[in-house]
Amino acid sequence: MGDYCADDAVCGSSVDSSASGRPTLSPPGRSGGRSRRTLLAALPALAALPVLSGCGAGTATRVEPAGRGKPPAQVHFVSHGDEATHQLFRRQARAWAEEGPQIQVEIEHTADWRDRLHALVPSGTAVDALFHSHVETGAAVRQGVVENLEPYLARQRSFREGDFEKGAWYATQYDGQRWGLPWSGGAYALIFNVDLLQGANVPLPDPKKRMTWDDLLGIARRLTVDATGRHPTDPGFDPHAVKVHGFATNTGWGLATFIMSSGGELLTPEGKVPVDSPDAVEALQFVYDLRAKHHVWPAAGVATSPSADFERGKLAMIYDGVWQLGRYNAAGLRWGAAPAPMRKVAVSGGHYSPLVMARAGRQKDAAWDWLSFACLSERGQRLLVDAGQMQPTRKSLEARFVEAETPPALPYRQVFADELKAGTLRVTGDRAGSYWGGYKWEWGRMWDALLAPLFRGERSALQVGGDLQRHTELLLKLGRPPVDIP
């Protein structure tokens, strides 16, 4: 669905395998010759456990508690991403150790957590907790791999719902229950390259005002330029030799925002997927036209991602997530942000990837203490906010995020804060109790395949809307995609 690689929030976070250090996850299909189904079926066997000391593709770091006394409990935690992510987990573990819990955290960091977990199964090694992905939380719940965290939240005396942004929890939900704690991510916004807009004499978008779809199209046309300096409205414009495109997003949560802003809905409380409605079809047609008619969005089949194009100065505007903050700053970009464009309904969005507790883990209480410090505590979140890993979920830390000295400027940082806490925030599945119906990965990959004929001009928006509706409702009913996923 266009957001299962470096474009996605966690399929990653704000720390990347590129300059920002955001973890980049390969699609959870076949990896190393093993199918995703095989991996998920094997995960419950992660029960037994001698703690690893650094082998194979991963590296292990043991963080000792500050105090001395009875032997500490040991929590085996698996993380993923690049070295910046590893170091951030280590800083959190050291900060927690300074507070004196009699718990020892062993962090095993691996570039590909799925392959590593598969390798741990036959080794007899147990995992107590891990950095998961918002894309696959539903599958992990169905496979019995992760623990329901509602009982732990209920008994945590220091936890108060009102201290946290409600929108931060959606990606952790399945059947109305929370199965993870938000660790990496935040809101989406319309991000723009200041230099490209000023170079084209285009006024910078107002951070306090939502532009319309017509506004977006008009600005994107002015920013799109081919190798000879022509714009899409100029005679002789060459859509096959575009130097800078005006706008793009992903066809996952990016497309979902367009559909809901048009007045459409992706998932009802009754489990219906009415994306064949006139409002939803209007959004599909608009996105198609941006690509094929107006040529302001890179054509279908282009190998690079929108985020990578924006980072290289090949894309002037992108609807993207705050987790790209570190990446875009490291690229030396001057950039700003504005609220999501709207058609009929003002809609904002966002998501977080969670830390989860392994159901087969031995140290449940100790694992919970570690997870709650890393994700919920003031000190744990300050480390994440300062690293650009997380837009804070704690309301008390909003000023720390908004007033940070690193780019973008305060008014643009405020956009992300407002988009997350506004009454406009919508996430697919928010009214059904399960994030993307619990099938985010399958839903996205299937939509990639079904949207392809639209973007190639082979089927109309109305026809494709019907395809999406029928096949997605079957996915939710059968528990598997009714079509082959590439």
Q: Are residues 194 and 130 in the same domain?
A: no
Contacts of 400 (CB under 8 A, 6+ apart): 382, 385, 386, 392
Cα separation, 481 vs 430, in Å, equals: 21
pLDDT at 157 over 60: yes
Q: Which residues make Cβ contacts (< 8 Å) with residue 152, sequence separation at least 6?
A: 357, 368, 372
* Position 81 confidence tier, pLDDT thresholds 50, 70, 90: confident
Residue 7 reports pLDDT greater than 50: no
Is 1 within a domain? no
Q: Where are the alpha helices (DSSP H) in 168-264?
A: 194-199, 213-223, 253-261
Residues 64 and 103 grouped into a single domain: yes
- On whether both 243 and 335 belong to a single domain, the answer is yes
Is the confidence at residue 210, as pLDDT, over 80? yes
Among 48-57, 150-159, 377-386, which is the least confidently predicted range? Answer: 48-57
Q: Is the pLDDT of residue 481 over 90?
A: yes
Q: Are residues 212 and 263 in the same domain?
A: yes
Q: Is residue 29 part of a domain?
A: no
The answer on pLDDT for 194 being more than 90 is: yes
Which alpha helices (DSSP H) does 9-136 contain, by range?
Answer: 36-42, 83-98, 113-123
Is residue 233 located within the same domain as residue 346?
yes
The reported pLDDT for the residue numbered 312 is 96
In-domain check, residue 202? yes
Based on the fold, state whether residues 200 and 217 are members of the same structural domain. Answer: yes
CATH number, residue 179: 3.40.190.10
| Contacts of residue 434, Cβ cutoff 8 Å, sequence gap at least 6 | 138, 173, 174, 175, 176
Nearest in space to 115 (alpha carbons), one of 35, 54, 61: 35
User: What pLDDT is attached to residue 410?
Assistant: 98
Considering only 72-81, 230-239, 348-357, 438-447, which range has the smallest mean pLDDT?
A: 72-81
Which sign, positive or negative, has the C-alpha torsion 223, 227, 231, 233?
Answer: negative
| C-beta neighbour count of 332 within 10 angstroms | 10
> What's the structural domain count of the chain?
2
Claim to verify: residue 261 and residue 154 sit in the same structural domain: no
Average pLDDT over residues 364-390: 96
11 lies in some domain: no
211 and 345 together in one domain: yes
Is residue 316 located within the same domain as residue 370?
no
Note the pLDDT of residue 20: 33
Is 171 domain-assigned?
yes
Crossing angle between the packed helical segments 461-478 and 440-455, to the nearest 10 degrees: 160
Sign of CA dihedral 381, 387, 389, 390: positive
Residue 158 lies in domain? 36-186+352-403
In a shared domain, residues 328 and 205:
yes
Q: Would residue 9 count as lying in a domain?
A: no
Task: Please give the pLDDT value at position 303.
Answer: 64
Examine residue 17 and state whether it is found in any structural domain, yes or no.
Answer: no
Residue 142 has pLDDT above 90, yes or no: yes
Please tell me whether residue 454 adopts helix, strand or coil conformation.
Answer: helix
Kindly state whether residues 94 and 63 are assigned to the same domain.
yes
Is there a single domain that holds both residue 178 and residue 91?
yes
Q: Looking at the domain assignment, is residue 2 inside a domain?
A: no
